[in-house]
């Protein structure tokens, strides 16, 4: 049955979901034309940034099986470099490109040594990198970074909305494209059983580095968009651990190793966070902690598992 073969080929589900998600993003592109409220557009920017950051974390952990506990390092580096270049007069897109490349280079600094070892070295290495960078940036750049008055005068929120929308679409397309390709299957094989993957011809180091490169590039771009979006913030802020844990929580809430999981997760998380933060301020962090534990214990496949169950197709969760 050639039809069945096509249906079951790797990444078929991701490609179908990517079409749905990209169509939804396409219709969201009309939003600034109909709604002229800043709060709605701001919500959109936060949502798209969350999707980008969560998908970049998902590619690494959900597909290649490598848990990154310092994703904020790459988001922060993207923000730091992009902001510096852009304020000095560079156009925003090339500035974001440079920021993303710098983030990737730092990713290799951790990945090259850590991936030669098995175990938690990569998770520990990324966690350490993020904290070192956060403290270093905090000490060397203690002043708040504010855009020049001329830039603020010409600030366009709509432009930020479209930039982050395109970025989120790029992240979704990257994950779908990877999942449907040969290297995507190799990454998943490594996630499932590294020894068996190696014995079947999959070069683990090369695949992990590829996943890391794509992941850090996307995280760096998201950081660059953050630097372009925020009028003023402390330079160490985007290096904070909350960026890592936002990406991790969204991925797990939605469903790691799926394409639509992190998108649904981001929608759920961003809505809930706004709502809870207004009502209970700092208490919302505690609520998210409890939510995370509950999801891991009761619903290891994330929200998308619920839909799978409803449709009578129990999804197998990743160990």
Partner 1 sequence: MALLEVEGLSRSFGGVSAVCDVSFAVEEGAIVGVMGPNGSGKTTLFNLITGALAPDAGRVRIEREDVTGLPPHRICAKGIARTFQLVHPFPGLTALENVLVGQLYGRRRLPLGRAVAEAERLLETAGLGGKGHLPAARLTVVDRKRLELARALATAPRVLLMDEFMAGLTPAEVGEAIALIRRLHGQGVTLVIVEHIVWALLDLSHRIVVLSAGEKIAEGAPAAVARDPTVMDVYLGTAAGA
Binding site for partner 1 (CB under 8 A): 2, 4-6, 8-10, 181-182, 185-186, 188-189, 191-193, 195-204, 257, 316-319
User: Min. distance of Cβ 199 from partner 1 in angstroms?
Assistant: 5
Q: CB nearer to partner 1: give 7 or 93.
A: 7
Q: CB nearer to partner 1: give 188 or 284.
A: 188
Q: CB nearer to partner 1: give 148 or 319.
A: 319
User: Min. distance of Cβ 19 from partner 1 in angstroms?
Assistant: 19
CB 76 within 8 A of CB 82: no
Burial of 262: CB neighbours in 10 Å, binned 0-12, 13-18, 19+: buried
Q: CB nearer to partner 1: give 163 or 185.
A: 185
Give backbone dihedrals phi and psi of 89, rounded to 5 degrees, phi first.
110, 0
Q: Which two three-digit tokens encode residue 106? A: 């730092």
Give backbone dihedrals phi and psi of 300, rounded to 5 degrees, phi first.
-60, -20
User: Min. distance of Cβ 63 from partner 1 in angstroms?
Assistant: 11
Give the three-class secondary structure for 146.
strand
Give 305's contacts (C-beta < 8 A, 6+ positions apart). Answer: 255, 299, 315, 317
Q: Which two three-digit tokens encode residue 147? A: 């855009």
92/120 Cα distance (integer angstroms): 37
210/308 Cα distance (integer angstroms): 30
For 95, the enclosing helix (H) or strand (E) is: helix 92-114
User: Min. distance of Cβ 10 from partner 1 in angstroms?
Assistant: 5
Q: CB nearer to partner 1: give 171 or 204.
A: 204
Task: Let me know how long the chain is.
Answer: 319
User: Min. distance of Cβ 312 from partner 1 in angstroms?
Assistant: 15
Q: CB nearer to partner 1: give 188 or 260.
A: 188
Q: Which residue has the tokens 């991701």?
A: 14
User: Min. distance of Cβ 55 from partner 1 in angstroms?
Assistant: 19
Q: Which two three-digit tokens encode residue 94? A: 């090339």
User: Min. distance of Cβ 182 from partner 1 in angstroms?
Assistant: 5
Q: CB nearer to partner 1: give 223 or 255.
A: 255
């Amino acid at each position: 049955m050639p039809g069945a073969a096509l249906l079951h080929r790797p990444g078929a589900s991701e490609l179908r979901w990517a079409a749905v998600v990209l169509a939804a993003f396409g219709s969201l592109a009309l939003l600034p034309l109909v709604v002229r409220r800043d709060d709605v557009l701001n919500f959109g920017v936060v949502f798209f940034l969350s999707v980008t950051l969560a998908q970049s974390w998902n590619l690494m952990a959900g597909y290649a099986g490598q848990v990154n506990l310092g994703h904020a390092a790459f988001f922060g580096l993207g923000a730091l470099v992009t902001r510096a270049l852009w304020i000095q007069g560079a156009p925003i897109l090339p500035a974001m490109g440079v920021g993303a490349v710098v983030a990737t280079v730092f990713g290799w600094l951790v990945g090259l040594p850590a991936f030669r070892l098995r175990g938690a070295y990569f998770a520990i290495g990324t966690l350490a990198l993020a904290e070192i960078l956060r403290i270093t940036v905090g000490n060397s750049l203690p002043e708040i970074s504010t855009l020049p008055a001329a830039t603020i005068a010409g600030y366009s929120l709509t432009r930020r909305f479209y930039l982050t929308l395109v970025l989120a679409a790029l992240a979704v397309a990257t994950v779908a494209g990877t999942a449907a390709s040969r290297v995507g299957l190799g990454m998943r094989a490594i996630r499932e059983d590294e020894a068996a993957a190696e014995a079947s011809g999959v070069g683990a180091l090369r695949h992990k580095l590829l996943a890391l490169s794509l992941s850090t590039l996307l995280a760096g771009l998201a950081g660059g968009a953050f630097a372009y979006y925020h009028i003023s913030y402390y330079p160490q802020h985007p290096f904070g651990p909350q960026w890592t844990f936002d990406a991790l929580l969204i991925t797990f809430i939605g469903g790691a190793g799926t394409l639509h999981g992190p998108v649904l997760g981001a929608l759920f998380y961003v809505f809930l966070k706004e709502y809870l933060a207004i009502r209970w301020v700092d208490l919302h962090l505690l609520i998210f902690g409890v939510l995370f534990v509950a999801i891991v214990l009761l619903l290891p496949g994330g929200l998308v598992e619920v839909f799978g169950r409803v449709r009578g197709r129990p999804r197998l969760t990743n160990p």
